[in-house]
């Protein structure tokens, strides 16, 4: 709403001599808001879609972290994943944060959490209903406790069911 008003005000200004200038500001504001909006989007993702994504990006390294809004150690380590993701973006690192919150919590817990923490990584909500199947499909050794993280680079695949410090996470990533 406020953006609209700013733009309207600017458009009035544009009626005078500042036509181009105002248009630039509006465009800039529009993009700034839409980028912020994009980063706070949470998409549903099932295991097939996750596997497809990884298959289609053979040249990338994937760090897939399984977390939940109710999981204290997960919340503690999320900033480390954000930081690694931002710092090594140029090395084709994709950090995917996959929440295992109940699907009913998407709008009431997951999206508000992602907004509040201003998370920049790609955030998903796992769209699966049977843990008996999906836990083993992520990794046979996964007991189901979170946090848990899957590292994938080419054909290399490593699964770790533990909480990370930033240094530990960086070490795991560099080892790939």
Tell me the closest approach of the beta carbon of residue 144 to other proteins, in angstroms. 5
Closest Cα to residue 60, out of 88, 92, 96, 95? 92
d(CA 72, CA 2): 36
Tell me the closest approach of the beta carbon of residue 104 to other proteins, in angstroms. 7
Using rule CB under 8 A, residue 102 touches other proteins: yes
Which lies closer to other proteins via its Cβ, residue 144 or residue 159?
144
Compute how many residues bind other proteins; rule: CB under 8 A. Answer: 21
Closest Cα to residue 11, out of 1, 2, 21? 21
Tell me the closest approach of the beta carbon of residue 3 to other proteins, in angstroms. 38
Closest Cα to residue 99, out of 80, 121, 84, 116? 121
What six digits make up the tokens of 120? 């920049």
Which lies closer to other proteins via its Cβ, residue 108 or residue 118?
108
Tell me the closest approach of the beta carbon of residue 135 to other proteins, in angstroms. 4
Using rule CB under 8 A, residue 73 touches other proteins: yes
Per-residue interface string for the shown chain with other proteins, residues 131-170, x marking contact by CB under 8 A: xx--xx-----xxxxxx-------------xxx-------
What six digits make up the tokens of 107? 């709008």
Strand partners, 150: 64, 159
Contact 27, 7 (CB under 8 A): no
What six digits make up the tokens of 42? 């949470």
Among 100, 114, 125, 160, binds other proteins (CB under 8 A): 100
Residues that bind other proteins (CB under 8 A): 68, 70-71, 73, 100, 102, 104, 130-132, 135-136, 142-147, 161-163
């Amino acid at each position: 709403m406020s953006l609209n008003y700013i733009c309207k005000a600017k458009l009035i200004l544009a009626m005078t001599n500042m036509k181009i200038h105002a248009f630039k500001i509006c465009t800039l504001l529009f993009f700034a808001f839409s980028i912020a909006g994009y980063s706070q989007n949470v998409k549903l993702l099932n295991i097939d879609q996750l596997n497809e994504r990884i298959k289609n990006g053979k040249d990338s390294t994937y760090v897939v972290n399984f977390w939940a809004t109710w999981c204290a150690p997960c919340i503690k380590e999320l900033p480390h994943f954000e930081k690694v993701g931002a710092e090594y973006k140029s090395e084709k690192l994709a950090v995917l944060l996959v929440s295992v919150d109940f699907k009913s919590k998407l709008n009431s817990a997951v999206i508000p959490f992602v907004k509040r923490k201003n998370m920049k990584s790609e955030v998903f909500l796992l769209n699966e209903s049977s843990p008996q199947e999906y836990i083993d499909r992520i990794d046979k050794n996964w007991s189901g406790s979170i946090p848990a993280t899957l590292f994938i680079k080419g054909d290399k695949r490593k699964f770790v069911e533990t909480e990370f410090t930033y240094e530990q996470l960086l070490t795991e990533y560099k080892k790939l």
